Chains A and B, each alone.
Chain A
Amino acid sequence: MSKPKVALYWCSSCGGCEEAVVDLAEGILDVVAAVDIVFWPVALDFKKSDVEAMADGEITLSLINGAIRSSEQEEMVHMLRRKSQLVIAFGSCAHMGGIPGLANLFTRQNVLDSSYHESPSTPNNEHVEPQVEYSANGHRLTLPSLWETVKTLNQVIAVDYYIPGCPPPVNIIKEALGAVLQGKLPEKGSVLAPDVPLCDECKRRESKPEQIKIDSFKRPHLAQSDPEQCLLAQGFICLGPVTRKGCGAVCVEGNMPCTGCMGPTGRVLDYGSKALSAFASLISANADDEIEKAAATIADPTGTFYRYSLPASFLHRAGHVKVTGDK
């Protein structure tokens, strides 16, 4: 009996999710023993044509990480969807849009301008930008086109499950893979991580005071933190209360406040505004001007609260879309 086939693919991603799989360390041997990896661009030499040649549904499981922003990514994920029985969005970018999702605060042209025209370290006297098509010496070269909007995986194809995290913690990956292989999966559309926030497993929970009141928020690089006390109670924006547990609160143990990469619990619909609501409620001021002052200590509320989830949020992106010419 042949082993189940597994594909891994990366879209707009940093490579951290591939690292996370590698982090299984000797566990990877168990994985390799249990499954056949038939496609993994970063590590193995299978080609797109190999996947194209497969039958629909031949791949048991595709783990796709990264957000979707280009025509190539779109094409690839559609293809993998056809060829796979199960598609799991792997990591924050596929789950909610991730860090690349923050580009939704800008237009596509803003991104191109900043990278190719305004960047002081890029010499570009001819003001060129990447083209979709380029002919030279009789050869035709093509590049994928860049979209205006960064999308989550489930905004492009139907997704069966989600493994959250940036990158997903090793134990979460192990449990998820184990559940797939044993056929003991929850209902479709579930996130394969515990549905309780991080405070539940954080060692500093007992140090929380009865009443948390915050006059002004602190930034981790500008203020000294007490290594024993709850970071939120000290005034740092720790998104532990809003974020699923499962990672063992390793960031907090390393004295850094949680940034919310595992996403919200199942009852929360818009991660950023829910986090905003919780933090705003803890501000101690009552007068208009004092509230403004306290709010101003959060340097970038949109970036802080929607750090990983902007494309998946209610508003998806900023501003109004301008339809630009063909490039």
Chain B
Amino acid sequence: MAKVTIKIDSQPIEVEENSYVLDAARTLGIDIPTLCHYPYVTPYAACRICSVEARDSKGWSKVVTACNYPVWDGLEICTNNTRVLGARRINLEMLMSRSAPHPVLQRLADQLGIKEPRWGFGDNTCILCGLCVRVCDEVVGAHALTFSERGIFRKVSTPYDQEADDCILCGACAKVCPTGHIVFEDVEQRNVIHKEFGLGPNAAIAVPFRQSIPNIPKIDTAQCIHFTTGGCQVCSKACPKDCINFDDVEKSEEIDVGAIILATGFKPFDATRMKRYGYGRYPNVITSVECEMMNNASGPTGGKVLLQNGEVPRAIGVVHCVGSRDAATNRYCSRVCCMYSLKLAHLVKERTSAEVYNFYIDMRTPGKGYEEFYERLMEEHVHFIRGRVAEISDWALDPSEEGKLTIRVEDTMIGAVRRIPVDMVILSVGLEAQADADEVRRMFNISCGKEGWFLERHPKLAPVSTFTDGVFLAGACQGPKDIPDSVAQAGAAAAEALALVDCGYVLIEPNTAGVDADQCSGCRTCSAICPYSAITILSDTLLAQVNEALCKGCGTCVAACPSGALQQKHFTDEQIMQEIKGVLNYV
């Protein structure tokens, strides 16, 4: 495209022919206010706030809107003379008089020196900027919104004012709406903690979580508008390095390995299952995991411990054993929660100086320095109450409990039921096996224990191996444990795996099956049932033969062999018959 030279506020700039004045001004760093402009949609000039004066060298001038005025060679723009400011002022004042008061308009009014519109305020929250319509049309491509009616009845609406079938619930309209006229509500009441702090990703392209590795954004194709309508791609337009690849697909690769270490971890107990603790109902009841996120300096609150309304809590309760040591949920102790509860108690007390109460059943602090840490907390005047929390509610029985969350607990040390009002409750959730543990373990042909953790070969003597040779376990997938133990186990598993693959040979089962060719008739009963394809029918003799390297020694073929030609070493028919005789005839 050809380049032209224009001047904005006497500053020359070379831009492409027919580009817009507003973009040129922004390149020069000259601020022109806008209301209905959005970089990724076609400019609409609905609000007229970006009005500027266009002049040529021959004395012609006109007030135009910068957002959609195409430049031409020799154009001169003035952005801040009386005529321009006057134009902006009258447009804004008229807009304000039809609208309800709103901070966005008020800010512009302050800039332009308007206190209040002469004709009073109106009651429209929609300022007819058309951003929602343009975004839905051009970026999203769903075309669910448009302007309808005329004149003073003009409004933004869906077809026939009915629920739009084409709306894909992307929320783009709500995001660009400057006045909040379009509201996006979570009607499913999903658990969103402190949503204005943005805990968790809220855009389709986001870094999965803080400090994730690799620390780059990822597109959630389920939420992404481009993958729904083929439109948008705003992120790609915004990216200066052009590194967003929408065509990236999941690839499957097959890799042959000699050993596998399963380190699939755990999942935190879902605190909504403890209905009487109010998680999900009361925004200030959070889990330990969420508390960790909040405490993190790169977290949503910058490391501050805050209530939902932004205030600092003055009393905090930490509830141990949520989901653990409980016949109704999990009977076992999750091992790590007492220590992390003490850590969180210490952190929140340090940051807020609140009264901190820990409600525990037993204090489990084995490990180096752990018991000493517990004593330190006691010296820091953290309150320790031995009792399982019965209920957390916001029903106030007396004025001291108004506006607070009351924790009801039996203090077994003093033998009395107490009600303790706090501002925030942290639930120390236990550890559980991953939801798909059963599926995963079948894939690797290992077993799960009673509580869903992967089963080790021997609890004392082989804690990292499984019953399937070559598959090892590391970390919490084998049972709840903390970081030092996980690291130690990972080292052990790596060592065993390396020992296996570096050895140069493998020891195989000795109790393989074998065919006596003199007795085999080639009936093919055995070859049909071997799951390892270890039995082949020889093409010359048509008799069966067992490949001892493939045979795993289950003996199923032996039980099926109609002629007794197949026998299993160490488990022959004769040997088992003698065992039967032995257990019956001598006792």
B-binding residues in A (CB < 8 A) = 195-200, 205-206, 208-213, 232, 240-242, 245, 264-269, 274-275, 277-278, 281-282
A197 touches B563 (CB 8 A): yes
The residue that A267 contacts in the complex, of B525, B537, B560, B565, with Cβ under 8 A, is B565
Q: Are A265 and B563 in contact (CB under 8 A)?
A: yes
- The answer to whether A198 touches B529 (Cβ under 8 A) is no
Query: Which chain B residues lie closer than 8 Å to A213 at the CB level?
Result: 528
Please determine whether B562 and A197 come into contact, CB atoms closer than 8 angstroms.
Answer: yes
Give the distance to chain A from B537, nearest Cβ to Cβ, in Å.
Answer: 7
Q: Would you call B521 and A241 a contact (CB within 8 A)?
A: yes
Say whether A277 contacts B523, CB under 8 Å.
no
Interfacial chain B residues near A267, Cβ < 8 Å: 519, 563-565, 573
User: Which residue from B529, B542, B559, B563 sits with its C-beta under 8 Å from A242?
Assistant: B563
B526's nearest neighbour on chain A, judged by CB, is A281
Top 6 nearest A-B pairs by Cβ distance?
A267-B564, A241-B523, A197-B521, A281-B560, A242-B562, A200-B521
Given A267-B519, A281-B556, residue A212 in contact with residue B525 (CB < 8 A):
yes
Task: List 28 A-B pairs, Cβ < 8 Å.
Answer: A195-B519, A196-B518, A196-B521, A197-B523, A199-B521, A199-B522, A205-B542, A208-B522, A208-B524, A209-B524, A210-B528, A210-B537, A211-B527, A211-B528, A240-B523, A241-B525, A241-B562, A264-B563, A264-B564, A265-B564, A265-B565, A268-B563, A275-B562, A278-B561, A281-B525, A281-B559, A282-B529, A282-B560
Residue of B nearest to A208 (CB): B524
Q: Please report which residues of chain B, range 512-555, place their CB below 8 angstroms from some CB of chain A when the two chains form the complex.
A: 518-525, 527-529, 537, 542
B contact residues vs A (CB 8 Å cutoff): 518-525, 527-529, 537, 542, 556, 559-565, 573, 577
* Least distance between B146 CB and chain A CB atoms (Å): 56
The smallest beta-carbon distance between A232 and chain B, in angstroms, is 8
User: Is B563 in contact with A281, judged by CB distance below 8 angstroms?
Assistant: no
**A contact residues around B577 at 8 Å (CB):** 269
Chain B residue numbers with a CB within 8 Å of A275 are 562
Whether B563 lies near A241 (C-beta < 8 A) is: yes
Which A residues are in CB contact (< 8 Å) with B519?
A: 195-196, 265, 267
Contact A212–B565 (Cβ < 8 Å): no
**Bound: A195/B556 CA distance, A:** 23
The distance from the CB of A162 to the nearest CB of chain B, in whole angstroms, is: 17
Contact of A278 among B518, B525, B537, B573 (CB under 8 A): B525
Known A-B contacts: A196-B563, A241-B562, A268-B563. Give 10 more (CB < 8 A): A196-B518, A197-B562, A199-B521, A208-B522, A267-B565, A268-B564, A274-B562, A278-B562, A281-B556, A282-B529
A266 and B524: CB pair below 8 A? Answer: no
Which residues of A have CB within 8 Å of B525?
Answer: 212, 241, 278, 281-282
Contacts of A195 in B (CB 8 A): 519
The smallest beta-carbon distance between A306 and chain B, in angstroms, is: 15
- Give the residues in chain A near B529, CB-CB below 8 Å: 281-282
Chain B residue nearest to A245 in the complex (CB): B521
Q: Which of A205, A210, A232, A242 lies in contact with B527, CB distance below 8 A?
A: A210
Closest beta carbon of chain B to A93's beta carbon, Å: 23
Tell me if B562 and A266 are in contact (CB < 8 A).
no
Minimum CB–CB distance from B572 to chain A (whole Å) comes to 10
Which A residues lie within 8 Å of B521 (CB)? Answer: 196-200, 240-241, 245
Bound CA–CA A320/B562 (angstroms): 30
Across-interface contacts of B556 in A (CB, < 8 A): 281
Taking CB atoms, residues of chain B closer than 8 Å to A245 are 521
Contact A212 B518, CB 8 Å, known A267-B564, A278-B560? no
Give bound CA distance, A268 to B573, whole Å. 9
Query: In this complex, what residue of B is CB-closest to A278?
Result: B562
Q: In the bound complex, what is the Cα–Cα distance between A39 and B565 (angstroms)? A: 41
A266 to chain B, nearest CB (A): 7
User: Shortest CB–CB separation between residue B530 and chain A, in angstroms?
Assistant: 10
Partner of A282, one of B518, B520, B528, B537: B528
Q: Report A-chain residues with C-beta under 8 Å of the C-beta of B561.
A: 278
Which of chain B's residues have a CB closer than 8 A to the CB of A197? 521, 523, 562-563
A266 partner residues in chain B, CB cutoff 8 A:
564
- Contact A277/B559 with A198-B521, A205-B542, A241-B525 known, Cβ cut-off 8 Å: yes
Closest chain A residue to B574, Cβ basis: A267
Q: Indicate if the CB atoms of B522 and A200 lie closer than 8 Å.
A: yes
How close is B216's CB to chain A, nearest CB, in angstroms?
Answer: 46
Shortest A15–chain B CB gap in Å is 30
Report the separation of the CA atoms of residues A198 and B387 in the bound assembly, to the nearest whole angstrom. Answer: 77
Q: Are A212's CB and B524's CB within 8 A?
A: yes
Q: Distance (Å) between the CB of B531 and the closest chain A CB?
A: 12
The distance from the CB of B401 to the nearest CB of chain A, in whole angstroms, is 58
Contacts of A264 in B (CB 8 A): 562-564
Q: How far does the Cβ of B365 sit from chain A's closest Cβ, in whole Å?
A: 50
When chains A and B are docked, how far (Å) is the Cα of A212 from the Cα of B542? 15
CA of A274 to CA of B561, assembled, Å: 8
CA distance A45 to B285 in the complex (A): 108
Question: Who on chain B is nearest to A195 by CB?
Answer: B519
Give the complex CA separation of A232 and B562 in angstroms. Answer: 13
For the complex, what is the distance from the CA of A232 to the CA of B522, rounded to whole Å? 13
Q: Which B residues are in CB contact (< 8 Å) with A274?
A: 562, 564
State A209–B522 Cα separation when bound (angstroms): 11
How far, in Å, is B563 (CB) from chain A's closest CB?
5
By a CB distance below 8 angstroms, the chain B residues around A242 are 562-563
A275 and B562 alpha carbons, distance in the complex (Å): 6
Q: How far is the CA of A197 from the CA of B520 in the complex (A)?
A: 7
The distance from the CB of B347 to the nearest CB of chain A, in whole angstroms, is 54
The minimal Cβ–Cβ distance linking A73 to chain B, given in whole angstroms, is 32
Whether the pair B518, A277 counts as a contact (CB closer than 8 A) is no
Alpha-carbon gap, A242 to B562, bound state (A): 5
Min CB gap B576→A, angstroms: 11
